Amino acid sequence: MIKACIFDLDGVIVDTAKYHYIAWKDLAHEMNFDFTEKDNERLKGVSRMASLDILLEIGHINKTPQEKERLAAKKNENYRSYILKMTPDEILPGAAAFLKECRDNKIATALGSASKNAMTILSRLQLTQLFDVIIDGTKTSKAKPDPEVFLKGAEALGISPTNCVVFEDAEAGIEAALAAGMKCVGIGNPKTLNKANFVIDGLHQMNIQHLYNL
């Protein structure tokens, strides 16, 4: 029986990947190489430092740990200049309505995101109040596909993982949800997200009856 929904942020509630892309691309250009939208796909659901490692690998560049800290901070400052301008209009279709439907039907809600900027983003989107629990990159030490982020979400809600459903757009996130012993609804392409129990285009295709039927 489903008692809780745990939502990834980027790609499920909002498309922040486009801002991550601009900020990583700017950093790549400063180091004199290009970074394509296809490259950006590799960063979805991946932590900031692991993303930087992928970027540097694409540019065939080596940096010291101190340099990497500086570059990650620079990228984040640029990224934050975009997310600080976000408005509730950027909430992906159906996300706010489904979160409210969960509330109305006593289904608990949690955020399970790798982002250390999740609180800022939820606040800009005016969605913070619709989450009972928020687990983000500031509260976890192991990146997806490790199940830590989702297990912490279930624990904080006081609900068994077997009664939780995760909504995820990244393969690593789906693996994390399944490793946590939870059901997982993939958001995106059924071919790439084939490990999910079920795949939809977005939360606009979700409602409480579909949830109970999972």
116 sits near ligand B16 (criterion: CB under 6 A): yes
Among all chains, which residue has been given the structure tokens 């913070």?
128
11 sits near ligand B16 (criterion: CB under 6 A): yes
Contact 177, 166 (CB under 8 A): yes
* 183 binds, options ligand B16, Mg ion, none, Cβ within 5 to 8 A by partner type: none
Instruction: Choose, by CB under 6 A, the member of 46, 99, 157, 182 that binds ligand B16.
Output: 46
4, 60, 181, 193 from 198: Cα distances, Å:
17, 38, 15, 9
183 sits near ligand B16 (criterion: CB under 6 A): no
Residue 168, helix vs strand vs coil:
strand
User: In terms of DSSP H, where are the helices of 107-161?
Assistant: 118-125, 148-157
* 137 binds, options ligand B16, Mg ion, none, Cβ within 5 to 8 A by partner type: ligand B16
Residues of span 38-57 touching Mg ion by CB under 5 A = 45
Q: Is 141 exposed, middle or buried (0-12, 13-18, 19+ CB in 10 A)?
A: exposed
148 sits near Mg ion (criterion: CB under 5 A): no
Instruction: Enter the DSSP assignment of 4.
Output: E
**Nearest-angstrom CA–CA distance, 112 and 38:** 25
107 sits near ligand B16 (criterion: CB under 6 A): no
Query: Cβ 118 to Mg ion, closest distance in Å?
Result: 11
10 sits near Mg ion (criterion: CB under 5 A): yes
Instruction: Choose, by CB under 6 A, the member of 56, 95, 114, 177 that binds ligand B16.
Output: 114
Whether residue 190 has a cis bond before it, omega within 30° of 0: no
* 171 binds, options Mg ion, ligand B16, none, Cβ within 5 to 8 A by partner type: none
Among all chains, which residue has been given the structure tokens 């499920």?
12
186 sits near ligand B16 (criterion: CB under 6 A): no
Residue ranges that bind ligand B16, judged by CB under 6 A: 8-11, 20, 43-48, 51, 76, 113-117, 137, 170
Residues noted as catalytic: 8, 10
